[in-house]
Amino acid sequence: MVPGCFGDYHSATPRWWSLLFFTLDIGAASVGFAWFRLRSGRVWTGVILHASHNLFLQEASIR
């Protein structure tokens, strides 16, 4: 496992808390990405959403 997935990368957050919200985030994002992908009929919609989601999370974690 990647240590950053469990909150000990740059955070003092407990591992169980990070794992809980990481799981909820991934579950919610996957439903949204799949819906947009099926609705548009193109894979690139999911690619762009995934990249923007990662950028948002990285920017939010820095501040």
For residue range 20-36, what is the model confidence (pLDDT) as tens digits? 988 998 899 889 889 99
- Confidence grade of residue 10 (pLDDT, cut at 50, 70, 90): low
Res 56: pLDDT: 86
- Confidence grade of residue 13 (pLDDT, cut at 50, 70, 90): confident
Spatial contact of 7 and 17, defined as CB atoms under 8 Å apart: yes
Res 15: pLDDT: 82
- With 0-12 / 13-18 / 19 or more C-beta atoms within 10 angstroms meaning exposed / middle / buried, residue 56 is exposed
Global pTM value: 0.60
